[in-house]
Amino acid sequence: MKEVSRRKFMKYSLGSMAALAVGSGLDWIKNEAIAAPRVNTLNFHITDAIKDMGTHNSINTAQCYFWVYKEDRLPAESPGPTIFATEGDVIRINITNDLDEPHAFFIPGMFNSGPIAPGQTVRKFFTAKNAGPHLYFDNLNQPVNRAMGLHGAIIVHPKAPAPGHKFTPYGKPTPAVQQLFDDFGSTAWWPGLAWEQGDPATNTPPFRRHIWLFHQASPTLFAAVGNFTPGLDFPSGQFVQRFLHDDFSPTNNENIQGEVGSDIPRYFTISGQSGHFSHNTPYINPTFRVGEPAVVHILNAGLMTISMHVHANHFFVTYFNGVVQENPIWVDVFNVYPMAIIDYTLPYMRPPDVPNVRGIGRADAGLPAGVSGGTTWPPNEEIRTFMPGPAPAGVTPFQIVGNLTDGAGNSLGVQLSPLCYPAHDHSEPTQTSQGGNYNMGLIAGMNFIGDRNTPGAMNFPNQPLIHGPGPGSPFGVDGLIFPTAVQPPWFQEG
């Protein structure tokens, strides 16, 4: 029997999960959380691609046509690569329009290429400012060009924290948000690391952040745009009407040819991926220990409202559409309107409703429990549970439930470690692909690979090699773009 161990995380290297760091850089950018190569100039082509979506395979065509911002050194993908910069950096950018109608590259409050004619190249530069998350997109023929895939995230890191304070992701944090980031790692209730603090001994990067860039794709409508008269803009009013309100069809599982079904979106993505491909990758899914707070930058490039819910930890809403929050509420779900940019700050506390001594939401000692002589935390019996199939050889399970195998008899059992939680849109129609296939839609997660605050629990089994947001590919591309990930000494498998 082949051993299929959990979460090898080897292949999530390409395209939308790729990142580029520009400009002078500071210490923050030299960490593995970013792991992005430094570039002096961004070279983009505005072009197009056919993409195999999450449910595509040899017997099922699930494709969609996109317009893409392709950086010369990275594979084609929508969204474009995440760009990391530091406040004050001067970024040179060359953009060539390979499509048939005018296009642009626009960052609100920061940069506007203006219309770029078909075949034309513009060479410009701009200064990174307004520390925080930003969306770059094509602002022509709104919202068609953006919705067709011409968008990406640019994250501007502050140059320095306020004197006497710790870093936040912002240049001008409110007192409440500054207090939160000052408290991480230095108060009795947020033990562990500060956000700005890493730990080489555990391969934990400082400035832990992930990007969840939402998009919704209609294969039939995007094909219609791709087939439209060359040189003419597709009518934006018609696009919006068909995207949001096209006639109901009971069947939307047809392929890209678009002969059947409604123009309502059928693919719902986070950073270009969905289902397994967004949920089970540490480039998208925060994968840290208790005591390692992280920030998720959420951007919605689509046209639908998303209600993004995180399991395992309530998060602080620290940033909303350009405004650092005066009253950062602590919630488990929040509304993400079209074009919204919102930060979820995850404290990475122990999931607080695990039974413990006082039952008041503290990381108290666990209660005696189970048949193995342990306590409720860390949940060692749960961690040694496999389902829905057998454990690989050499692992002593607490229990095995189910006997699911593939056609070759390989076990499809999964170990319940690291601790896996989902994060998903609670406006559930986006949890689908091709009109059904639940859980192949807009879903990320929040994983725990250990607990730095409980002695002996630093590392749960099956930790991934890397932390997001990519690339950090072990394979590399050109040897220049992707540094080779070195297996850290604490890596355990099985």
Partner 1 sequence: MSFTSPAFHIDRISVVGEEAEFVKMFDPRPVGAGPALPERIDVTTLPIQLGANPRANPVPEVMQALGLGIPGRPHTRDMDLLNGLALPTWDGAKILNFMTIRDKDFGLGGTYPGPIIRIPRGVIVHADLSGKGPPPHTIHWHGLEPTPINDGVGHCSMEIGSYTYQFQPNFIGSYFYHCHRNTVQHFEFGLFSLLLIEPPDAYFASIGAINPDGTVTLNSIPVGACLDGRFRTAANLLTLPASIQAKFPGFIAGDPVFGVAGPNDVGVGHPHAFTVPYDVEVLWVPDDRDSRWSDLASDAFATFPVHGLTPGADDDFQANPAIQNFFAFNDYRADYWFITGLPVPTPPGGTGTIPPGIVIPPGGNSGRSGSQVSVNARVGQTIFLRCLDAAYNNIRVTLPVDAVITAWDGRALGVPPFNRYNHAYVAPANTPMTFSVARRFDALIKAETTMNTFAKVEFMDTRGNAVTATALIPFQISP
Interface positions, 159-178, toward partner 1 (CB under 8 A): 176-177
Residue among 237, 236, 234 at smallest CA distance from 223:
234
Q: Which of residues 111-170 bind partner 1 (CB under 8 A)?
A: none
Phi, psi of 387, deg, nearest 5: -160, 150
Q: Which CB atom, from 86 or from 278, has the smaller least distance to partner 1?
A: 278
Asked if 68 is part of the footprint of partner 1 (rule: CB under 8 A), the reply reads yes
Within a 10 A sphere around the Cβ of 366, how many other Cβ atoms?
18
Q: Decide whether 85 or 295 has the Cβ nearer to partner 1.
A: 295
Quick one: which segment of 25-33, 287-295, 310-318, 482-490 binds partner 1 (CB under 8 A)? 310-318
Contact stretch for partner 1 (CB under 8 A) within 88-96, 404-412, 449-457, 485-493 = 404-412
Query: Residue 46: phi, psi to the nearest 5?
Result: -95, 115
Beta-bridge mates of residue 298:
212, 342
Instruction: Kindly state the smallest distance separating residue 419's Cβ from partner 1, in Å.
Output: 5
| DSSP reduced 3-state for 116 | strand
Q: Is 285 a residue that touches partner 1 (CB under 8 A)?
A: no
**Residue 383: both structure tokens together:** 């961690």
Letters for 2-21 (x = contact with partner 1 by CB under 8 A, - = none) are: --x-xxx-xxx-xx------
- Token couple for 117: 């004619």
Residue 311 binds to partner 1 (criterion: CB under 8 A): yes
Map the footprint of partner 1 across residues 215-274, applying CB under 8 A. Answer: 222-223, 225-227, 230, 240, 244-245, 248-253, 262, 264-266, 268, 273
Q: Is the dihedral of CA 329, 335, 341, 343 positive or negative?
A: positive
Smaller CB separation from partner 1, 117 or 331:
331
DSSP code, position 405: B
Q: Is 371 in the site for partner 1 (CB under 8 A)?
A: yes
* H/E element, 276: helix 276-279
Binding status of residue 401 toward partner 1 by CB under 8 A: yes
| Shorter beta-carbon distance to partner 1: residue 25 or 388 | 388
Cis, bond preceding 418 (omega within 30 deg of 0): yes
**Cβ distance to partner 1 smaller for residue 11 or 165:** 11
Assigned token pair, 92: 């040179």
| CB 167 to partner 1: min, Å | 17
Q: How far is the CB of 468 from partner 1 (least distance, A)?
A: 15
- Separation CA 304–CA 265 (nearest Å): 10
Report the distance separating Cα 169 and Cα 352, nearest Å.
26
412/477 with CB nearer partner 1? 412
- Count other Cβ atoms within 10 Å, centred on residue 92: 15
Does 434 interact with partner 1 (rule: CB under 8 A)? Answer: yes
Report in angstroms how near the CB of residue 331 gets to partner 1 at its nearest.
4
Tokens standing for residue 119: 């075949």
Q: How far apart are CA 82 and CA 191, in angstroms?
A: 31
By the rule CB under 8 A, 407 interacts with partner 1: yes
Q: Are 216 and 253 in contact (CB under 8 A)?
A: no
Using the rule CB under 8 A, give the single segment among 120-128, 150-158, 306-314, 477-485 that binds partner 1. 306-314
CB of 46 to partner 1, least distance (A): 9
Phi, psi of 114, deg, nearest 5: 75, 170
